[in-house]
């Protein structure tokens, strides 16, 4: 299938129509693939295998404690050209929006540092890839302002697979393809911690190709690609 093009995302944007008024400037039938909550044993590697077999690149929003536990999977994501982004340190049950502001910022920053340490062997100052997604999409105006002031882009999604709900891979495929057809384009959210998603992804990628969709890979502006 391949990746049709690379999109450089400016610093400090807030995109994804499930959370924000606007999204990335995608053409009709262009899709950005994103995965949350990994890396996870078994499922992340299976998804990477499917992406590699079809020369497709995606963005992975990592949980810091998972990156710390499985740095070899993070380094594989980097080596295979994917974008490693951030999704907090622990994915707190109460969400960042319900935490005191300073505690929430600390949770975000610790996660970014853990991801960078796993990916690149060091973490200092600003994250190498300034992309963040709030767990549960639970942001606050103050947290959004803090991230924007630091040039960190925040991503929602335009549609999702609802793979937090148990279903068969076939049911999930039908659901996400239906949502894609309705949207026509956009940022799609999966979770690479889910076995049903890992099993479904090869068929989903094949269906994209058969239906004339094109995958866009997003990277920070000025990089031209993952470093």
Q: CB burial class (10 A; 0-12, 13-18, 19+) of residue 210?
A: exposed
Through-space distance between the first and last CA atoms of the chain, rounded to whole angstroms = 23
Give the contacts of 213 (CB within 8 A, at least 6 positions apart): 29, 30, 31, 180
Encoded tokens for 107: 């949770």
Q: Which of 48, 70, 20 is nearest to 187 (CA)?
A: 20
Question: Annotated active-site positions, please?
Answer: 36, 191
Note whether 89 and 65 are within 8 A (CB).
yes
Please count the helices (runs of H) and the strands (runs of E) in the chain.
7, 10
Give SS3 for 190: strand
DSSP structure string for 102-161: HHHHHHHHHHHHHHHHHHHS---SS-SS-EE--GGG---HHHHHHHHHTT-EEE--SEE-
């Amino acid at each position: 299938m391949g990746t049709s093009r690379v999109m450089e995302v400016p610093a400090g944007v807030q995109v994804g129509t499930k959370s924000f008024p606007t999204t990335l400037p995608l053409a009709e039938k262009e899709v950005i693939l994103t995965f949350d909550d990994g890396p996870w044993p078994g499922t992340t590697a299976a998804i990477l295998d499917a992406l590699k077999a079809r020369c497709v690149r995606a963005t992975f929003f990592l949980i810091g404690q998972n990156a710390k536990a499985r740095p070899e999977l993070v380094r594989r994501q980097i080596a295979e050209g994917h974008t490693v982004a951030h999704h907090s340190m622990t994915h707190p049950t109460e969400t960042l929006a319900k935490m005191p502001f300073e505690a929430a910022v600390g949770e975000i920053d610790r996660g970014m540092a853990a991801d960078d340490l796993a990916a690149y062997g060091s973490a200092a100052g600003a994250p190498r890839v300034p992309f963040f997604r709030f767990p549960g999409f639970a942001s606050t105006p103050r947290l959004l302002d803090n991230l924007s002031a630091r040039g960190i882009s925040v991503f929602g999604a335009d549609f999702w697979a609802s793979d937090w709900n148990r279903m068969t891979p076939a049911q999930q495929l039908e659901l996400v393809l239906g949502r894609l057809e309705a949207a026509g384009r956009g940022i799609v959210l999966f979770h690479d911690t889910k076995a049903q998603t890992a099993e479904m992804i090869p068929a989903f990628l094949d269906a994209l190709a058969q239906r004339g969709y094109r995958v866009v890979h997003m990277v920070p502006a000025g990089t031209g690609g993952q470093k």
